[in-house]
Structure 1
């Protein structure tokens, strides 16, 4: 692979409310795209639950999806975001981001999962028309919807932590909104036309690269989705943090890593790279998607009442208690 052609600096100031406004607008666009594909696999759960993790969601059966912000209202903000993201998410930048993450010199703050949730909770979007609630409310709403549907404890935990990768805004050198939120996609191969706003990839130098701009790029057919270099953002960052520091099963890690990979789990792109085992990961991501998109509500959950349950849940899957972020 080519060496990074640019060196990116350290942490810069970020407007958390502006980022969350963009993140919520992106979610609203995806609400209009997302209905999970027919479930192909059923799994008898361990940990005492009789419900399959990939059984159809029930919490949203009567939810009025049209109540969310319409695509046209979010379009300008979202398109401007993707113009920047699609121009800057290059192979060079992604290699740089990973080198920065894995660098021996990088100071990795140590926080418990609950402390991390409370830190993320300082990112409050005051401009979001769908909800005026905080980050902890969104995480708890996702987790509680999964819990009410009788899904396994590990999936409840995924609902609770799935957005914690946004902590990179505080201490991982994020460059802007474009490398934190938004739909994700592989770099190092041709940008698929099923990505959102595909024409905006024209400004990305990799689109005309003699290798990266080809259909397969640096990959081989059937190489496995897990071996693709995914665009850098809060999903990929959190996956790298948790894969070796938790006992979350592979399906749960896939939910975290790929929940923004809409071209794959919603639109059927990049299937040429799938290998044995990838169908069950795809199924898992599709099962999680409704709990991320449709759990938003202005109902205020009482954090202190729910906290003991989730502290116990956290301890079950994070035995070392402190996480290196």
Structure 2
């Protein structure tokens, strides 16, 4: 397998990562804007299918087209696609039921759940430091979710939305575990391309379950979501060529700032004090996990570079 080239240009890496996070958040806002008209499976199809041309052009420009089209373990891509597509579908469904900042906040629990799954599935040892970080993160998640399950004014649909996003977050953590094994044999180019391909095929299977003929404006938004998602995936992948994963990972949390801004100006949404408090704990816990993994010398750059597309 061809070794991928990495160089140290941290400022460029940060710029690419932040731009990618902004585009992913914009994509989520676009999907949310179409959620009342378009079912989640159909939205997943547009998000995945229209990202493929962007990815193919990128691979051709980098001279990796042949690599990207030659998987070494096809079934690994099928499983990655099945889990990731399900996570994306749950996220898109939840976006129609919850405020954008809340969806973003719950999603911050991904690295916390990844640590737990790694312990159960891969036998990784987690000592008191990471156990403490996981505990802090789980408390933060409970604070975020409390109004949806135990608050005074329960909203049934919002509770369902919270469950959908929580399920998507767990599946994204499972994808992270799967990718740790895939990158041992599969090139990043192949992982990026075949996820979009398998997601397009799998989401197309939801056609009998209620696809709609979108209006012209909605169709334009759906195609834009796919193109924006494709560009964002390329940017986040490229960012890890110029900076260490442990240095770039904390910039994932800029998505909360972008979600608050877009949520306010587009959907008239504001985060609650409880949501912000819980998010703060989850972010702190995630940052501790990232720092500890850096201290332990765990190389996760390739996995982060091909993580599940944000939504």
Shorter-normalised TM range: under 0.3
Higher RCO (CA 8 Å, separation ≥ 6 residues)? 2
With normalisation by structure 1, the TM-score equals: 0.26
Higher helix share: 2
